[in-house]
Structure 1
Amino acid sequence: MSKSDCELIAELKAVLISQQYSPVVVGNYCAYARGFLDHLARRNILVTDVTEAQVERYLRDAVALFRQRRGRRPGPRWHQIPCAGIHALLRLVQGQWPPAPKATCAADALRFTISNEYETWLHEERGFARPSIDAFLWEARHFLAWQLERCGVEGLMDLSIGDVDRYMDLRAPKLTRCSLKAVAERLRSLLRYLHITGRVTTDLSGHVIAPTLYAYEGVPSVLDRGQIAAVLESAKKDKTPAGLRDHAILQLLAAYGLRSGEIRHLRIEDIDWRTEAIHVRHYKTRATTFLPLLEPVGEAVLAYLRSGRPVTDAREIFIRTRAPYRKLDKLYSVVRRRLRDAGVQPPGKCGPHIFRHARAVEMLRAAVPQKVIGDLLGHRSTGSTAPYLKLATEDLRTVALDVPGMEVLA
């Protein structure tokens, strides 16, 4: 290994140590990064020029070598450690990994240009939140890649209804009706933008056919008070760092019905311990809410901050339990695992939103006005709160009117 490669491994080791990786992980990552550098040196490839395809090829060769030496294939997750070590090296050298895609032809250049401009339009003209922009952009890139590969750069201007129908037929087989309707909405937005900017001669947005979803046709999963108590009690018994973190998260979900992103983005300065208040940013609607810090929530968060949260410069309250210590990417797996541990099996989905549903129903049963419920949940309008009414089915039965003539039938 050249002197520069040795210096690079030393720098990688220092970075990993600063990110608080364990000594064993640091050693493994550096060993695999060193092996990858040796592989590049034998082929006269500069680490600054490495592509994703070259990394995939190296990992395939590593699996073949493992099988040759040991007479068996490695386990299904064996590649994760060498892959993580190599990716850490490439992030250090190239600044970003995976690398940003580069245009290799006129179609790629057009797709990248349209996508970048469309992203700006969604943010500045439509005012969408970041998660919505990401979803619309994914669909736009997918559609543009499909259309440009079929018809070339010149074919975009002559986009037809048949092309739109073929794309929807392509997307439909693996999607539910609800998901397919979302695809149609995102495609309509893109087609409208392409027409506005003069890249398509005809506005085809009105020709996107989507399945009809009837208002309130589906009843989402919801937990009752006993199930929520069981989940909280089960998580409270786990005194590990992950248990303290998950218990605090579940308390926030149960007490306020917050969205997953609102909890993941909650920062240390958002809790005012002196006034016992919590500042919630509703990223979906860009609104903010100040809520009273309830005692069970405050105690759970404080226990996590004192005994469970790793030492890190990150300002978000809830952090991964393994290095690199940064904010959580999602809560679905956390909630699903805690429901399973408590022996609670909702009939439908088991993500964090079921606590939100439960909180809404609880307030409805307490005769809290719909506007107040919407404000607490961070809804833009009362129309967003209305679907929760269908969850309080038992309450609706108590106010149901008798059907005229039923006495005669009886």
Structure 2
Amino acid sequence: MVSNGIHQYDQKVEEQFLNFEFDGRKGRKLFKQEQFLANGTRKLTEFQNTGQIKVPNLPLKKAPFIFKGALGEAIVSFLDYKHVEERLSTIRLHCYKRCLFLFLEYCNENKIHIVRDIDLAVLLHYINTINCGKTLIVPVLSTLRCFLKYLFEQKLLAIDYSRRIPRYRIIDQPKLPSTYSKEEIEKLIVSIDRSSPIGKRNYAIILLAARLGLRASDISRLKFANLHWDTSTIEIEQVKTGKELILPLLPDVGNAIIDYLKYGRAKSEEACVFLSERSPYSNFASSNVVTHIVQRAYKKAGINTEGRRFGPHSLRHSLGFRMLEESTVLPVISEVLGHKSTESTRYYLRIDLKSMQQCMLEVPSVSPDFYLQKGGVFYD
């Protein structure tokens, strides 16, 4: 509002602000943090119009799990045993109830009402019908395994089917990092207006992320003590890893910081280099400030960000990707990005298509005689 000379807040200002922040994106197209900002802004408008903020209606209390029949009695007996013998927490006990209630519903639908009717075929068919997310399938199978072991130990089942329940292992591949080409990064840097104090500050911040790959948390907490002009280095203890990191203070980065300190930074005794643009000119409350600075710069530069994240980490990822393209070895990239080990840096190998193409093997040609062997009968 200050930047645009707006003195009175209303719903029109809300719409203009959200369009500016999210470039017209709405609903599910917003990241979680963006949705939080959008909801907060709408609540501000709601408070201005009504003088209060409505508390959303709480969901109705779910009906309790009721275990009926002989099989239900066996489940209740199992739950009592776990509660008394293992002193399960209320949350854990509720998880057991929920998982076994699903199994009981399946059994009732398939006319399986007593324990001795349970066999391996029933169990495997039930597992194939489980329709839940991969994070829920693990506790469902684990609970079923415990229940079957209990039934065997209590001599209610003649066979220990708990050993036959398959194990489900969740292996998540991390998402591919969002990267931008060298031309896009240069377009972003050049687009920053350095005629104002804010522009000088933002220019230095974006250079630190793009040229040196610093995280937003490290940029927001950068102190004068970290700048070693005599050796032209930046020496920090990384917020995320606690690992010490020494990087060269590149000429354009150093000049951008000097330009900000001389002509952009307000007079302050703060130990941090970068300050807010308005009084009382304090240091950044969180790394989110750096994130918003970079995101706004992407939008103003007119760079296509569809399907890609466009925060400070995208600048860091792009630097790592370019180094990989230039055949920089992993230990060097790991050292520059401040990773604890090269295992974190291997994350970038999956997007190095140029190197992958170099590993392709030609498929050898096959002699026509191969297809005609034995009269070609094998291939009819």
Which bin holds the TM-score, normalised by the shorter protein?
Answer: 0.5 to 0.7
What amino acid is aligned across from residue 173 of structure 2 in structure 1? A
Give the conservation status (yes or no) of the 8 Å contact 2:191–2:300.
Answer: yes
Give the conservation status (yes or no) of the 8 Å contact 1:314–1:327.
Answer: yes
1:234 aligns with 2:191: yes
Deviations 1:223-275 (A, max 9, x none): 1100010011011x332111111100111111111111111111012111122
Task: Tell me the equivalent position of 1:365.
Answer: 325
1:160 aligns with 2:92: yes
Give the conservation status (yes or no) of the 8 Å contact 1:222–1:391.
Answer: no
Which of 211, 218, 235 is equivalent to 1:279? 235
- Aligned-residue identity in percent: 28
1:225 aligns with 2:182: yes
Report the CA distance shift for 1:405/1:76 in structure 2 as closer, same or farther (over 3 A). farther
1:349 aligns with 2:305: no
1:59-74 matched pairs, under 5 angstroms:
none
User: Residues of 2 paired with 1:290 and 1:350: CA distance?
Assistant: 26
**Deviation of 1:300 (Å):** 0.6
Which of 45, 49, 58 is equivalent to 1:76? 45
Give the conservation status (yes or no) of the 8 Å contact 1:234–1:341.
Answer: yes
**Deviation of 1:375 (Å):** 1.5
User: Residues of 2 paired with 1:269 and 1:294: CA distance?
Assistant: 17
Report the CA distance shift for 1:345/1:159 in structure 2 as closer, same or farther (over 3 A). same
Report the CA distance shift for 1:316/1:397 in structure 2 as closer, same or farther (over 3 A). same
Task: Tell me the equivalent position of 1:214.
Answer: 172
User: Residues of 2 paired with 1:407 and 1:254: CA distance?
Assistant: 53
Report the CA distance shift for 1:356/1:159 in structure 2 as closer, same or farther (over 3 A). same
Listed as ranges, the gaps of 5+ residues in structure 1 are: 1-73, 83-154, 168-176, 185-208
1:340 aligns with 2:340: no
1:255 aligns with 2:211: yes
Q: TM-score if structure 1 supplies the norm length?
A: 0.49
Which of 281, 288, 296 is equivalent to 1:325? 281
User: Residues of 1 paired with 2:282 and 2:231: CA distance?
Assistant: 28
Report the CA distance shift for 1:407/1:215 in structure 2 as closer, same or farther (over 3 A). farther
SS at match of 1:278: strand
**Deviation of 1:76 (Å):** 2.2
User: Residues of 2 paired with 1:242 and 1:210: CA distance?
Assistant: 52
User: Residues of 2 paired with 1:360 and 1:262: CA distance?
Assistant: 17
User: Residues of 2 paired with 1:212 and 1:279: CA distance?
Assistant: 39
User: Residues of 2 paired with 1:157 and 1:389: CA distance?
Assistant: 43
Task: Tell me the equivalent position of 1:266.
Answer: 222
Report the CA distance shift for 1:162/1:401 in structure 2 as closer, same or farther (over 3 A). farther
Which of 258, 261, 277 is equivalent to 1:305? 261
Report the CA distance shift for 1:312/1:407 in structure 2 as closer, same or farther (over 3 A). farther
User: Residues of 2 paired with 1:228 and 1:157: CA distance?
Assistant: 52
**Deviation of 1:345 (Å):** 2.1
Report the CA distance shift for 1:271/1:338 in structure 2 as closer, same or farther (over 3 A). same
- Whichever of the two has the greater Rg, that structure is 2
Report the CA distance shift for 1:165/1:210 in structure 2 as closer, same or farther (over 3 A). farther
SS at match of 2:209: helix
Give the conservation status (yes or no) of the 8 Å contact 2:325–2:354.
Answer: no
User: Residues of 1 paired with 2:257 and 2:96: CA distance?
Assistant: 50
Give the conservation status (yes or no) of the 8 Å contact 1:221–1:354.
Answer: yes
User: Residues of 1 paired with 2:210 and 2:46: CA distance?
Assistant: 35
Question: What's the Cα RMSD here?
Answer: 3.4
SS at match of 1:363: helix
What amino acid is aligned across from residue 232 of structure 1 in structure 2? I
Report the CA distance shift for 1:320/1:382 in structure 2 as closer, same or farther (over 3 A). same
**Deviation of 1:374 (Å):** 1.0
Task: Tell me the equivalent position of 2:201.
Answer: 245
User: Residues of 2 paired with 1:385 and 1:234: CA distance?
Assistant: 30
**Deviation of 1:327 (Å):** 2.1
**Deviation of 1:156 (Å):** 7.7
User: Residues of 1 paired with 2:253 and 2:186: CA distance?
Assistant: 14
What amino acid is aligned across from residue 338 of structure 1 in structure 2? A
Give the conservation status (yes or no) of the 8 Å contact 1:277–1:292.
Answer: yes
User: Residues of 2 paired with 1:309 and 1:165: CA distance?
Assistant: 60
Q: TM-score if structure 2 supplies the norm length?
A: 0.52
Listed as ranges, the gaps of 5+ residues in structure 2 are: 1-42, 52-86, 100-132, 140-166, 369-380
What amino acid is aligned across from residue 273 of structure 1 in structure 2? W
User: Residues of 2 paired with 1:212 and 1:337: CA distance?
Assistant: 37
SS at match of 2:186: helix
**Deviation of 1:312 (Å):** 2.0
**Deviation of 1:161 (Å):** 4.8
What amino acid is aligned across from residue 323 of structure 1 in structure 2? S
Task: Tell me the equivalent position of 1:376.
Answer: 336
Task: Tell me the equivalent position of 1:144.
Answer: none
